[in-house]
Each structure stands twice: as C-alpha cells, then as structure tokens.
Amino acid sequence: AMAEKAGYKHFMLKEIFEQPRALIDTFRHRVDPHGGEIILEEFHLNPDEVKRLKKITMVACGTSFHAALVGKFMLESLCRLPVEVDLGSEFRYRDPFVDSQTLLISISQSGETADTLAGLREAKTKGARSLAICNAVGSSIARESESVFYTHAGPEIGVASTKAFTTQLVSLYLIGLYLAKQLGYRQPDQIQQNLQALFKLPTLLQDVLDENRAIREIGQKYMKANNFLYLGRGIHYPIALEGALKLKEISYIHAEGYPAGEMKHGPIALIDEHLPVVVLATRSPVFEKMMSNIEEVIARRGRVIAVSESDNDTVREKVETTIPVPETSLELSPILLVLPLQLLAYHIADLRGTDVDQPRNLAKSVTVE
Ligand code: G6P
C-alpha cells in the first residue's frame, strides 16, 4: 500500500502533491504555447451556436459545486453571459428555466454522481446544450453529454477531493477564455497573456507545497479547536466554502465557510478567543474590505489565520498566523489559495488521528440519491 502511495502516508497527501503535474496534464494538450491559441477539439458548439447562447447553467455537488461557484466568477467576467450555479439535488426538482440557448455545464470528478447526472438529463430534456467537465473517462455523465472536457488529473483515491478540484478550475479557465475569444471579448494578445499566467502556475503551486512543514505546525497550534470559520470575498468566497468542507470532511471539526461581508449578519456572534478564523486576504479589488473584516474578528479576540502574499505586511502585522502564497492573477488565485487549506485540513485530521482517506459516513462517489 505504501508503494501505491509513492511514500506518502495517505492518498490525499499524495494527491495534494500531484497538483502541479495534474494541472500541466489538464492544459498542455489544449494550448499551443507559441501562438497562444486554445484548442478545444472536444467542444462541439460551432461559433454561431456559441453566439446564440443566452446563459450558462452549471450543476454539480460537493467540491465540484465549489468549482462551479468559482467558474461563475470566471465565466461571467470573461464571456459576459449570465451564469447560474446549482446543486444537482436542487436543480433536478425545481423545474429549472433552461432552453436550447442554455449551455449546461455539469462538473463531476467521478462522472457518476446521481444528482448531477439527473440534473444533466433534466436540462437535456428541456433542450439545453451540454458540456461535462469530468475526470473519470467514459463515466455516465461523460457519455451522456454532447461535449466532454476531461480534466486528466489521474485517478483520485482519497475521498476528499483535491487535484480533481484544481484541475476543474483550470478547465473552467480554458473554457472561459475559449468562449470569450469566440464571442469577441478577448483578443489574441490578451489570451496569450492569460495563458502565460497559467503556464507559471504549476511552479507557484510548488512554492505553496514547500510550506508543508510550516502548515503542519500551524495545524498543531489549532488542532484542538471545536469550530472553525473560513472567510473570503468575491472569487475567494467559494474557496472559503471549500476550505471549511475539507476540514469537516476529514477532521470532523465543525467548520463554516462564509462570504466575509455577510459575517455581520450571523457568524460574528460565534467569535471569541477560542475560534480560529481562516481568512483569504490576498491583494484583490476587495482587499480593503477584507482588512476591515479581519479587524472585526480581532476586536472580538478571534484567532486569525490569514492566507496572504509573503510581502503583505498590512496583513502580517495584524494577525496571529500567516500562511504565505505567491502572487498570480485574480482569476487564477483560487487555484493557489485552496492548497494551504487542503494541507491545513489534512494535517489537522492526521494529527487528530482520523481515517483521512476513508472518512466515516462519506463515499467517494454518491451514485444513489
Ligand atoms: C462526494 C465526494 C466529494 C465530491 C462529491 C461530488 O461527496 O466525497 O469529494 O466532491 O461527491 O463528486 P463528483 O464525483 O460528482 O465530483
């Protein structure tokens, strides 16, 4: 078993460390590094059909749903189309408004999640065009979709999803750029810049992985807490949700992810000297707003763990603990920011001695309702 895990203690840790490689496998066959072109042979809508689209609807469950939420930020800003995101289990029963001018994007690592599959079928019945983002080749969702974009992350064994998530985000980025170009919102030189940023990402991911030991020590410091709060804004809000989900899935600590601006409408009541609050506080258009939220947490003696750039002294001087991340573009930053949260959840769970790869009550793929 140790050999299968390539020397890592758990599949989850191995899969976290595979992410720089997995990302490259997602994009390398789809980009021409010289011309800055994106080649999506798997996408079956012609340019006229793309121009006729009126909206994009994304359906997914669990971690894949969080990828869809990040995708909404990417696709709305790149393609200037309304993007709606729903959970498979909600979408399938609400008589959703979709038609032949809707592109239904289903996102699923396994391609077998019953609720996501049912959502895809429901949308197809209503005439929607369909595109699946899947990791498992030949899975049901892949087979039943008009177009399939494979993430090529390789098999994911740990129940808590890691490399499937970051490769889903890269997929959404490539799809967004591709559609934006067809719709005339991106010029070739802009696409080239966006791709250059993507090509740099695997190295930056490695820089975050190099913080592994420091993150374990941080885990040691906070592992006894009974509750955690995760805060983010904008495109980082879904990453707060994902960080909280990772922690609760494998460590069984209650954790909540929240959009930081909404804190005053509820979660602020929970803050005291026992509550670790993980904040995503890198430079972004809402950085100042995030700083105010950090101050609100500190004023109530919450223990702030900030994920921020290593040279971001504004944050570092304020908070109890900082996890440094390198700089990248706003659209790609979620991919970088989720890594320390995966590692933090992993180490806290491992230190508490839970069954990290097979957490109680959870399944890798939920093929029944
Ligand atoms: C289960 C897994 C999660 C996963 C979710 C959706 O809950 O434990 O890790 O995110 O299913 O799975 P999918 O295969 O559709 O991405």
Q: Distance from the CA of 361 to the center of ligand 1, in angstroms? A: 13
- Residues, the chain: 369
Q: Is residue 36 scored above 80 in pLDDT? A: no
Give distance in angstroms: CA of 160 to centre of ligand 1.
8
| Whether residue 109 has its Cβ less than 6 Å from ligand 1 | yes
- Mean predicted confidence (pLDDT) in 232-243: 98
pLDDT higher than threshold 80 for residue 55: yes
CA of 328 to the centre of ligand 1 (A): 28
The answer to whether residue 344 scores a pLDDT higher than 70 is yes
Interface confidence (ipTM) of the complex? 0.99
Q: Name the 3-class secondary structure at 329.
A: coil
Q: How far is the CA of 365 from the centre of ligand 1 (A)?
A: 5
State the Cα–Cα distance between residues 72 and 235, nearest whole angstrom: 9
- Confidence bin at 95 (pLDDT 50/70/90): very high
Task: Summarize the confidence of residues 42-49 as an average pLDDT.
Answer: 94
Question: What's the whole-number mean pLDDT along residues 33-57?
Answer: 91
> Is 64's pLDDT higher than 80?
yes
Give the span between the Cα atoms of 194 and 329, in whole angstroms. 9
Please state the atom number of ligand 1 nearest to the C-alpha of residue 60: 15
Interval 302-331 mean pLDDT: 97
Q: Which atom of ligand 1 is nearest to the CA of 110?
A: 14
Question: Going by CA atoms, what residue is nearest to atom 2 of ligand 1?
Answer: 364
Confidence (pLDDT) at 11? 97
- Name residues whose C-beta falls within 8 Å of residue 295's C-beta, 6 or more positions apart in sequence: 318
Specify the pLDDT at position 35: 66
Name the active-site residue from 124, 221, 318, 364: 364
pLDDT of residue 238: 98
Using most ligand atoms within 8 A of CB, pick from 64, 156, 167, 361 the residue to mutate for ligand 1: 64
| 364 is a catalytic site residue | yes
Which pLDDT value is given to residue 254?
98
Q: From the CB of 214, is ligand 1 less than 6 Å away? A: no
149 phi-psi bin (left φ>0, alpha ψ -120 to 50, beta other): beta
Alpha-carbon distance 226 to 157, whole Å? 28
Cβ of 61 closer than 6 Å to ligand 1, yes or no, is yes
Q: 343 C-alpha to center of ligand 1: Å? A: 18
Position 339 pLDDT exceeds 90: yes
Residue 201 Cβ < 6 Å to ligand 1: no
| The predicted structure's pLDDT at residue 1 | 63
Indicate if ligand 1 lies below 6 Å from the C-beta of 116.
yes
State the average pLDDT over residues 13-25.
98
Give pLDDT, residue 32: 86
Q: Is the pLDDT confidence value at 43 over 70?
A: yes
Instruction: Please report which confidence band the pLDDT of residue 51 belongs to, taking 50, 70 and 90 as the band edges.
Output: very high
Q: Taking residues 264-284, report their average pLDDT.
A: 97
Tell me the pLDDT tens digit for each residue of 131-167: 999 999 999 999 999 999 999 999 999 999 999 999 9
- Reading the block at residue 69, the tokens are 């939420």
Confidence of residue 34 (pLDDT cuts 50, 70, 90): confident
DSSP state of 272: S
CA–CA gap between residue 131 and residue 142 (Å, rounded): 9
- Residue 369, pLDDT score: 85
CB 351 within 8 Å of CB 225: no
Give 269's DSSP letter.
Answer: G
